Structure 1
């Protein structure tokens, strides 16, 4: 067994149906963890992420939950916190984005983005993290963003939420590190997912972004795999309150 071995641990990954969440679930299973995948449209059986996890020889459970619904999120937290097998690793990855100029940004877009990207992760972490604190161990990983550090353009709700995620990561780490619970975040760079499709489809924005990335390419979901396993593992035992960029060098430019 190595410090990166997750054998016997149970991981919950939100937004696991596709993109970064699917890659995270696959990586955790490859390191030995069983996985509960959560998504608003996750198939009950036969999903791609389920096939990934089972191909690694691990168990998989699908839970369909709309993270834009606060009551559904609270119910999910109560369910997972009340089970006989405790959650060892919680990956708050699910997110959504709405693009429009700030002066025209609809209230409903603001509210949905804040709920999915910040409200739901906090509620789920509060429910599951309480058990981790009581047991004296656990790993919580948030998905932050480059917009946890920067302002972005035409995404005021997303930027506010992702700044909130960075702050929440540090606040929870301050409280829970003494109890053996590691709270950290990953900040993906410009990864080729549905959330960045509008940027990749805009020739001017696409060129401007690629010109600034030292690695010279858009990220891939699997680029988050190693960092996810690291933060979930005993190798990160003394890592608390960190927002770790995985961005091809964007922030260092």
Structure 2
């Protein structure tokens, strides 16, 4: 076993969806640094091009468009590793939620994920190998007021990926979820703008701070690589200890 190259991705084509910003952008750069040929896909083509620079490939993709997803699967084939980070959230109490808001969050966070797994998983299964990596959240496990629909989609994504692992595993395809804690991304800008809210979240985890998007990239590289060749159907928490620590009171010795 060549352990020195365990995390190398030379010869692999990786598609990162949501590569225009945040975790997706850092994941694309980290995967490329480990030798992968990376396609940076995003609904915002300009943002994807900024991530891609002169070394990587940019691709415009709206994951809410089923035909566009199928077209991408055909045009980009073969894709050895699929990473998707795109998500949205509407922070409202259940009784204040509208049906339109519910549909909007579920459509992007869950339905689009289903379509991506189907479109790209098919080719992986036919070739006999592949890695699918989706982004869940601590909200797939722990909840708070105002996170109902987002939390439901993130928990649902875990079960969707676990089922994909079970169904595609015999064909050599792995499927896993990464569950970040609080990360400074455009999705959490609303929280960062409120110091009390921001500080409360920072104090909840064991490390006492928020994560930067780059701190999720290592988990993506790991699950994409042969270092995780026997890892499938799993949820990798990268949450600074959020789900491990109660965090509400530090009792005296």
Q: TM-score, normalised by structure 1?
A: 0.90
Shift of the alpha carbon at 1:233? 0.5
Secondary structure class of the residue paired with 2:243: helix
Aligned to 1:9: 12
Aligned to 1:81: 73
Structure 1 residues 149 and 167: alpha-carbon distance in aligned structure 2, compared to 1, 3 A threshold: same
Aligned to 1:25: 28
CA distance in 2, matches of 1:86, 1:11: 9
Aligned to 2:90: 98
Aligned to 1:228: 220
CA distance in 2, matches of 1:81, 1:41: 18
- The answer on 1:186 being equivalent to 2:193 is no
Residue deviations 1:210-241, cap 9 Å, x none?
Answer: 22111121100000111100000011000011
Structure 1 residues 62 and 44: alpha-carbon distance in aligned structure 2, compared to 1, 3 A threshold: farther
The answer on whether the counterparts of 2:175 and 2:232 sit within 8 Å (CA) in structure 1 is yes
Secondary structure class of the residue paired with 2:58: strand
Per mean C-alpha deviation after superposition, the further-off stretch among 200-209 and 232-241 is 200-209
CA distance in 2, matches of 1:97, 1:200: 15
Q: Which residue among 110, 113, 117 is the counterpart of 1:121?
A: 113
Tell me how many residue pairs correspond in the alignment.
Answer: 242
CA distance in 2, matches of 1:9, 1:176: 19
The answer on whether the counterparts of 1:43 and 1:62 sit within 8 Å (CA) in structure 2 is no
CA distance in 2, matches of 1:167, 1:96: 19
CA distance in 1, matches of 2:187, 2:80: 28
Shift of the alpha carbon at 1:21? 0.6
Q: TM-score, normalised by structure 2?
A: 0.90
CA distance in 2, matches of 1:186, 1:170: 12
Shift of the alpha carbon at 1:12? 1.0
Aligned to 1:149: 141
Aligned to 1:206: 198
Structure 1 unmatched runs, 5+: none
Aligned to 1:111: 103
Secondary structure class of the residue paired with 1:204: helix
CA distance in 2, matches of 1:22, 1:209: 24
CA distance in 2, matches of 1:44, 1:208: 31
- The answer on 1:66 being equivalent to 2:68 is no
Aligned to 2:188: 196
Secondary structure class of the residue paired with 2:24: helix
Shift of the alpha carbon at 1:207? 2.5
Residue deviations 1:157-200, cap 9 Å, x none?
Answer: 21111011111111111111121101001111100112112222
Shift of the alpha carbon at 1:84? 7.1
Structure 2 unmatched runs, 5+: 246-253
Q: RMSD across aligned C-alpha pairs, in angstroms?
A: 1.7
Where has structure 1 moved over 3 Å in runs of 4 or more?
A: none
Q: Which residue among 244, 247, 251 is the counterpart of 2:239?
A: 247
Per mean C-alpha deviation after superposition, the further-off stretch among 231-240 and 7-16 is 7-16
Structure 1 residues 12 and 84: alpha-carbon distance in aligned structure 2, compared to 1, 3 A threshold: closer
